[in-house]
Amino acid sequence: MAASAFGFGGIRFSKTIPLSKYIPPLQPHHNNTFFSFFPSSSSSSSSSSSSSINFSTKPLPMSHHKHLTINGDEQNIIKPSPLFVDDYHNIDQQLLDNIAYDALVWASLHGLLMGDKSYQKSGMVPGVGLMHAPFSLFPTSFPESKWKQACDLAPIFNELVDRVSLDGKFLQESLPRTKQVDEFTSRLLDIHSKMLQLNKKEEIRFGLHRSDYMLDEQTKSLLQIELNTISSSFAGFSTLVTQLHRYILTCHGKLLGLDSEKVPANNAVSQNAEALAKAWSEYNNPRAVIMTVVQAEERNMYDQHFLSAVLRDKHGITIVRKTMAEVDQEGEILPDGTLSVNGQAVAVIYFRAGYTPVDYPSESEWRARLLMEQSSAVKCPSISYHLVGTKKIQQELAKPGVLERFLENKDDIAKMRECFAGLWSLDDSDIVKKAIERPELFVMKPQREGGGNNIYGDAVRDTLIKLQKTGSQEDAAYILMQRIFPNISAAVLMRNGGCHKDHAISELGIFGTYLRNKDRVVMNNQSGYLMRTKISSSDEGGVAAGFAVIDSVYLT
């Protein structure tokens, strides 16, 4: 989208007029600095390699100003150049420095913070070793039509998760080979099997989901990366980064040629909190609490505490945080099925842990997971919802005719199939052969969440050949997925207090909230979004894992 230049046409100058008269001023620390908006020689090329930026508040030399003659007198005037939304590397260096400084101040004042891993207690004690969460300094462009497509898909995927979760036979029969070679998935399936044997019915079914997409540059298609059904994180931080970007563009948008209204509103944290509150209400025990299941060390605790704060302040609900080991030590199921932890009845169990094998270092954690599943508490997610989010089930649902097993609406089915990327089992010898020949076109994915687990490039070929030579059944632990090649854009990334220019790709996540009580659908909504951006040379994309930054959308 072309940006319009910001000029001073029609104004009669009798002296040099401060730019702050027309644009919201920066904070006092800038010491009346004037800014140039012409690209400097050091940052004019978007093809340069990654670079860091040092903050400076020195006044610009007058040579950076344009000159205007009015009534015979030469006057100084700052005239900005037009900017395109993906041309962030061409922003004048000093303007960039000052925007970055203000963004870091804003992040600190508004709680866009994580624990700094260099501090030993930063993941255990709140307020110790704080560092701003990694974020993009400016929003990333995204076609409005594809944005609407992603949002419209959220309620359909919510309903699909619920329908598939009720088909215990499908879940068990889709994952038997995976169970043989993947101990983690096997243990989850064992718990699911026990619930089937007990004929345990989840009358209140609740999900906080996030469906992640990339926009394929060649086909211009919106393609799904994965569907997250457990610990769908960053509702709090994504809301804050959207607010930060709107603030930046409100202050500087005219100079940059960008409109803050093009950044769509994002109320993910309040909408996720509202869903948790409604699940608590459906449980119908006003003395019960919501229990967040957390990892023993969690540098991302502040994103979780945002939800807790909204639940407490807006909905008046008590939230407790427990590790699975603590649930095992303090938990019991009362005769009526109520889960009691440390003497408190639990209405809703919200999992922000339990999605990775490292969360189960001993049998204590597995006992806790089974105990919680056997209780009457509302689970977010239940064991069946959790299994629906595995990569193998994603691959099974992409097979011809499978969606028709769960959905009746042909338009909904067509919409879902349109966003499915290529997904294959490793027992498909033709696909395996193609992946060995052209590994750069595929990604190998295990049944894992959290970032840092996928296999790319030559490692795909090496892994497949190794599996073929050994003749093991370990191939059942993986699926093959079409590799998506999104647009690469110029980005400015904020990490560890530094401002870095780089070339990046982005992934859009759409939150969905779903709540059903028996036959009554209480809620089925699209509930905010998460944009994540990473340097284009990085294969992995987790923010907490250190690969990506939090971003927002600029609609084009």
For 476-485, how does the pLDDT look when each residue is reduced to its tens digit (9 = 90+)? 778 899 999 9
308 is catalytic: no
Choose the final residue of a domain: 453, 483, 513: 483
**Do 249 and 373 belong to one domain?**
yes
Q: How confident is the model at residue 451 (pLDDT cuts 50, 70, 90)?
A: low
373 is catalytic: no
Contact 380, 356 (CB under 8 A): no
Which structural domain range is residue 381 located in? 93-421+484-555
Side chain identity, residue 13: F
Q: How confident is the model at residue 176 (pLDDT cuts 50, 70, 90)?
A: confident
**Do 445 and 327 belong to one domain?**
no
297 is catalytic: no
Of residues 146, 254, 392, 445, which has the active-site annotation? 445
**Do 455 and 550 belong to one domain?**
no
Of residues 159, 282, 365, 449, which has the active-site annotation? 449
Q: How confident is the model at residue 452 (pLDDT cuts 50, 70, 90)?
A: low
**Do 152 and 295 belong to one domain?**
yes
**Do 329 and 467 belong to one domain?**
no
233 is catalytic: yes
User: Residue 508: what are its φ and ψ, rounded to 5°?
Assistant: -100, 125
Of residues 36, 165, 174, 228, which has the active-site annotation? 228
Rounded to two decimals, the pTM is 0.82
391 is catalytic: yes
Query: Which residues define the annotated binding site?
Result: 210, 226, 228, 230-233, 298-300, 304, 352-355, 391, 445-454, 456, 481-484, 507, 532, 534, 540, 543-544
Query: Which residues define the annotated binding site for Mg(2+)?
Result: 226, 228, 449
pLDDT of residue 96: 93
210 is catalytic: yes
Alpha-carbon Rg for the chain, nearest whole angstrom, is 26
pLDDT at 68 over 60: no
Which of 240, 258, 255 shows the shortest CA–CA distance to 25?
255
**Do 410 and 426 belong to one domain?**
no
**Do 438 and 535 belong to one domain?**
no
183 is catalytic: no
Of residues 146, 278, 322, 391, which has the active-site annotation? 391
pLDDT at 222 over 70: yes
54 is catalytic: no
Exposure string over 47-71, b if 16+ CB within 10 A, otherwise e: eeeeeebeeeeeebeeebbeeeeee
**Do 268 and 280 belong to one domain?**
yes
**Overall size of the chain counted in residues:** 556
Of residues 129, 168, 422, 450, which has the active-site annotation? 450
Of residues 146, 254, 379, 532, which has the active-site annotation? 532
Tens of pLDDT, residue by residue over 72-125, are 343 333 344 445 556 888 888 999 999 999 999 999 999 999 998 888 888 888
* CA–CA distance, 484 with 421 (Å, rounded to integer): 8
Query: Distance between alpha carbon 502 and the CA centroid of its chain, in Å?
Result: 20
**Do 229 and 107 belong to one domain?**
yes
76 is catalytic: no
Establish if 62 belongs to a structural domain.
no
* CA–CA distance, 530 with 551 (Å, rounded to integer): 7
Domains in the chain, number: 2
